[in-house]
């Protein structure tokens, strides 16, 4: 059971992470990660899937996460030029202490993405995120973020923004 | 529609991408009459396992029967037309229609009809699930044609079986294995843009500029100055078209992101044992095929992809890593490469598909009516095996696709 202040810190972190991603503040978002972070978006909603045997949409270690962000920063990632206009809502937060002094926070999200790169359509992205958070030099950092979309196994449009 | 007028040797008409009547003709002439890739036998290794797919728009089940043989069944109850299987994959002992409980075995035979007294005489044997008129496989790749007549699969594939061989022979066990599941990428463009783009060597430095500026890939060195490029495109006939990067490769495993042989030592040893060091080294240099097997199978180097048309302006690009039987050490790497290269969150395909969508929008213009198809016409050559070959940036591949398209779309 987290203290109220710890819970509040987790909530603040999730809201800040969401805002940085929504606003395409790539460097600031990347700075939220630990060096051993793993960013995972499975291609299925089936529980217990092994990312070393099954294909994912994203399974980034820190090096690949850096590459992902660098691509966006070149200004030539056509699928995010210009960057999608996004706002995401986060709710149903459940946070608990985990091993190693980390906190695991699960939350539901709903993202409205205006994909303005071609058709100017709004795409809705809905799912549940699991953040693994660790205190580094007094501040919370992500050592893991897993995003399970409700339609993970369906045909998806471009997902080159930070989800 | 006069396809001989719409597809010319050096240009194609924009309506081929935008006219719903063309799409209807394609569903009939390419996806109903012709051979279409359905799936790979390795996706359903055990009896009872199945995957559901579409041939054009028609729903089918590819299933391994009790006897181990692979069958393709039309996914439509003989009674009232309901899908008898809605899962994307799974394992079953029977297929039971959820509407009135008609039940079929794994071979499609009707084995159960509830309340049979309602029929004076129902011949169950005449009400098995239907099957595509023709189903055939090559090295585990299962193809089907919904029409009884026409070329055999061997005639359809022609010499392009060598492209499939090039990929499969890389596996020490001689077979590829598609066991990682598929990612599906929705594309707001006509389906033909995917096979065309998959075999277009001209766009990489522009569409994929972000990646080229960020990390060093095997493509940068292979591309470079127009006059020194050695990679080629080939038209194998029958609509089967290829980019061959390998003439530009200088060291083994450039297709694997330039790993050292030591990093994949087990794979190297296994292939050298099987083929001898010289032949194995050639395979390590050349890598797998980068080719479209007309109309919907893309051998995407270390990936296998499917092009699934939806409507005249929507399609889906499926992909899965091409695991190599007998190379467990390598397959983890292939999995991570698949995620880097293909799919909606990858470092390559989102750019291809957003450009395809802009292409589809541009083609809404009524004038000009034509797209150019002439690049490289003056410098392509026919090699001694009858294949047309040219500079990797040339539209020899597009022409190969379109000229076969014109042939099948113009048949009586």
Q: What is the dihedral of CA B22, B23, B27, B28, to 10 degrees?
A: -20
Residue B231 lies in a domain: yes
Task: Establish if A99 belongs to a structural domain.
Answer: yes
Band of the pLDDT at B263, cuts 50, 70, 90? Answer: confident
pLDDT digit string, tens, across residues B179-196? 999 999 999 999 999 999
Q: Is the pLDDT of residue B225 over 90?
A: no
Same domain, B286 and B348: yes
Strand partners, B305: B298, B319
B227 and B126 share one domain: no
Tell me the ipTM for this assembly. Answer: 0.97
| Strand A33-42 with A139-149, pairing | parallel
For residue A133, what are the domain limits?
Answer: 4-149
Tokens of B197: 């783009």
- In our burial notation (b when 16+ CB lie closer than 10 A, e otherwise), range B61-96 reads bbbbeeeeebbbbbbbbbbeeeebbeeebeebeebb
Judge contact between A93 and A10, C-beta under 8 A.
Answer: yes
Average pLDDT over residues B370-380: 98
B207 and B95 within one domain: no
Percent of chain B residues topping a pLDDT of 70: 99
User: Is residue B71 very low, low, confident or very high in pLDDT (cuts 50, 70, 90)?
Assistant: very high
Is residue B15 in some structural domain?
Answer: no
Beta-carbon-side half-sphere exposure of residue A160 (alpha carbons within 13 Å): 37
pLDDT at A37 over 70: yes
Q: What Å distances lie between residue B232 and B156, B218, B243, CA to CA?
A: 23, 15, 6
Is B316 in the A-facing interface, judged by CB distances under 8 Å?
A: yes
User: Backbone dihedral region of A48: left (phi > 0), alpha (psi from -120 to 50 degrees) or beta?
Assistant: left
- Claim to verify: residue B165 and residue B243 sit in the same structural domain: yes
Q: Are strands A139-149 and B11-13 parallel, antiparallel or unpaired?
A: unpaired
Mean pLDDT of chain B: 96
A32 located within any domain: yes
pLDDT of residue B376: 98
Q: What are phi and psi of A45, to 5 degrees?
A: -95, 0
Mean per-residue pLDDT, B206-218: 87
Averaged pLDDT, B383-387: 97
Within 13 Å and on the Cβ side, how many CA atoms surround A18?
22
DSSP B116-153: GGG-S---GGGGSPP--SEEEEETTEEEEESSSSS--H
pLDDT at B239 over 90: yes
Residue B253 backbone zone (phi > 0: left; psi -120 to 50: alpha; other: beta): left
Residues whose CB is less than 8 angstroms from the CB of residue B238 and which lie 6 or more positions away in sequence, other chains included: B156, B157, B158, B160, B294, B404
Beta strands in A47-84 (DSSP E): 56-60
Q: Is residue A111 part of a domain?
A: yes
Cβ-nearest to A74 among B179, B213, B340: B213
Sign of the alpha-carbon dihedral angle for B7, B12, B14, B16: positive
- pLDDT at res. B260: 87
Neighbours of A140 (CB within 10 A): 21
What percentage of chain B reaches a pLDDT higher than 90? 93
pLDDT at B216: 78
State chain A's mean pLDDT as an integer.
97
List the single residue in A57, A71, A163 with the smallest CB-CB distance to B211: A71
Answer whether residue A162 is part of any domain.
no
Q: Residue B241 above 70 pLDDT?
A: yes
B296-354: per-residue pLDDT in tens? Answer: 999 999 999 999 999 999 999 999 999 999 999 899 999 999 999 999 999 999 999 99
Q: Give the distance, in angstroms, between the CA of residue B258 and the centroid of all CA atoms in the same chain.
A: 25
Residues 190-249, chain B, touching A (beta carbon < 8 A): 207, 209-211, 213-215
Per-residue pLDDT band at B222 (split at 50, 70, 90): low
Query: How many domains are there within chain B?
Result: 2
pLDDT class of A9 with cuts at 50, 70, 90: very high
How many structural domains are present in chain A?
A: 1
Best B45, B354, B356, B359 member to test A by mutation, with max A CBs in 10 Å, is: B354
Cβ pair B198, B207 in contact under 8 A: no
Chain A residues in contact with B207 by the CB 8 A cut-off are 78
How far apart, in Å, are the Cα atoms of A137 and each of A20, A131, A141? 21, 19, 9
Closest by CA position to B296, among listed B53, B45, B6: B53
> A92-122 pLDDT, tens per residue?
999 999 999 999 999 999 999 999 999 999 9
Cβ <8 Å between A41 and B345: yes
Per-residue confidence band for A46, with pLDDT thresholds at 50, 70 and 90: very high
Same domain? B140 vs B173 = no
Question: Would residue B13 count as lying in a domain?
Answer: no
Determine whether the interchain pair A158/B354 forms a contact, defined as Cβ–Cβ distance below 8 Å: yes
Q: Is A34's pLDDT higher than 80?
A: yes
Q: How confident is the model at residue B221 (pLDDT cuts 50, 70, 90)?
A: low
Handedness of CA B99, B104, B107, B109 (dihedral sign): negative
Paired residues of B351 in beta bridges: none
Q: Which 8-state DSSP code applies to residue B7?
A: B
Q: What is the CATH number of the domain that holds A132?
A: 3.10.450.50
Name the residue range of residue B85's domain. 36-145
Q: Is the pLDDT of residue B70 over 90?
A: yes
Choosing from B121, B145, B169, the residue where a domain stops is B145
The per-residue pLDDT for B217 is 74
Alpha carbons B106 and A66: distance in angstroms, whole number:
48
Distance CA B95, CA B291 (A): 36
CATH code assigned at B127: 2.102.10.10
> Among residues of chain A, what percentage have pLDDT more than 70?
100
User: pLDDT by residue (tens digit) across A12-22?
Assistant: 999 999 999 99
Q: Is the pLDDT of residue A72 over 90?
A: yes
Which residues in chain B are contacts of A68 at CB distance < 8 A? Answer: 347
Of B145, B180, B199, the one marking the end of a domain is B145
CATH number assigned to the domain comprising residue B339: 3.90.380.10
Residues B143-178 pLDDT 10s: 999 999 999 999 999 999 999 999 999 999 999 999
B197 and B305 belong to one structural domain? yes
Domain boundary among B94, B113, B145: B145
The sign of the dihedral angle between the CA atoms of A6, A8, A10, A16 is negative
Confidence of residue B389 (pLDDT cuts 50, 70, 90): very high
């Amino acid at each position: 059971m987290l203290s109220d202040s710890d819970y509040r810190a987790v909530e603040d972190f999730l809201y800040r992470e969401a805002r940085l991603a929504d606003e395409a503040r790539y460097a600031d978002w990347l700075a939220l990660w630990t060096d051993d972070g793993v960013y995972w978006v499975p291609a299925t909603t089936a529980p217990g899937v092994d990312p070393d045997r099954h294909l994912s949409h994203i399974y980034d270690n820190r090096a690949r996460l850096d590459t992902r962000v660098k691509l966006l920063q070149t200004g030539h990632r056509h699928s995010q030029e210009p960057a999608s206009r996004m706002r995401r809502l986060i709710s149903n937060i459940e946070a608990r202490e985990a091993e190693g002094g980390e906190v695991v926070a699960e939350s539901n999200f709903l993202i409205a993405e205006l994909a303005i790169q071609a058709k100017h359509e709004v795409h809705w992205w809905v799912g549940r995120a699991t953040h693994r958070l660790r205190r580094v030099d007094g501040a919370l950092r992500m050592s893991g973020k897993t995003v399970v979309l409700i339609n993970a196994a369906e045909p998806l449009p471009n997902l080159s923004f930070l989800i | 529609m006069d396809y001989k007028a719409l597809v010319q040797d050096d240009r194609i008409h924009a309506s081929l991408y935008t006219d719903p009547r063309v799409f209807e003709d394609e569903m009939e002439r390419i996806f109903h009459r012709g051979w279409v890739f359905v799936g790979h036998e390795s996706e359903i290794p055990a009896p009872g396992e199945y995957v559901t797919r579409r041939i054009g728009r028609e729903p089918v089940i590819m299933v391994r029967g009790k006897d181990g043989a692979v069958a393709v069944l039309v996914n439509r109850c003989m009674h009232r037309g309901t899908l008898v299987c809605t899962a994307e994959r799974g394992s079953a002992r029977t297929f039971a229609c959820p509407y009135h409980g008609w039940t079929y075995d794994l071979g499609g035979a009707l084995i159960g009809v509830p309340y049979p007294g309602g029929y004076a005489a129902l011949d169950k044997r005449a009400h098995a699930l239907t099957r595509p008129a023709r189903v055939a496989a090559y090295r585990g790749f299962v193809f089907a044609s919904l029409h009884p007549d026409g070329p055999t699969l061997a005639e359809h594939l022609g010499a392009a079986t060598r492209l499939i061989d090039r990929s499969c022979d890389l596996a020490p066990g001689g077979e590829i294995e598609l066991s990682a599941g598929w990612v599906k990428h929705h594309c707001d463009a006509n389906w033909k843009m995917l096979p065309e783009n998959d075999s277009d060597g001209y766009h990489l430095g522009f569409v994929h500029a972000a990646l080229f500026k960020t990390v060093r890939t095997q493509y940068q060195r292979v591309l470079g100055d127009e006059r020194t490029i050695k990679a080629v495109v080939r038209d194998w006939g029958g609509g089967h078209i290829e980019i061959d990067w390998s003439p530009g490769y200088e060291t083994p495993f450039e297709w694997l992101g330039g790993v050292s042989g030591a990093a994949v030592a087990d794979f190297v040893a296994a292939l050298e044992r099987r083929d001898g060091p010289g032949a194995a080294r050639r395979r390590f240099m050349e890598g797998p095929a980068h080719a479209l097997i007309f109309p919907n199978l893309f051998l995407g180097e270390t990936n296998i992809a499917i092009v699934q048309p939806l409507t005249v302006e929507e399609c889906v690009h499926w992909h899965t890593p091409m695991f190599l039987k007998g190379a467990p050490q390598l397959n983890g790497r292939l999995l991570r490469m698949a995620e880097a290269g293909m799919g909606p969150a990858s470092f390559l395909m989102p750019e291809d598909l957003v450009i395809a969508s802009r292409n589809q929008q541009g083609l809404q213009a009524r004038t000009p009516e034509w797209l150019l198809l002439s690049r490289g016409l003056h410098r392509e050559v026919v090699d001694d095996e009858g294949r047309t070959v040219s500079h990797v940036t040339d539209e020899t591949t597009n022409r190969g696709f379109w000229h076969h398209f014109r042939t099948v779309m113009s048949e009586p």
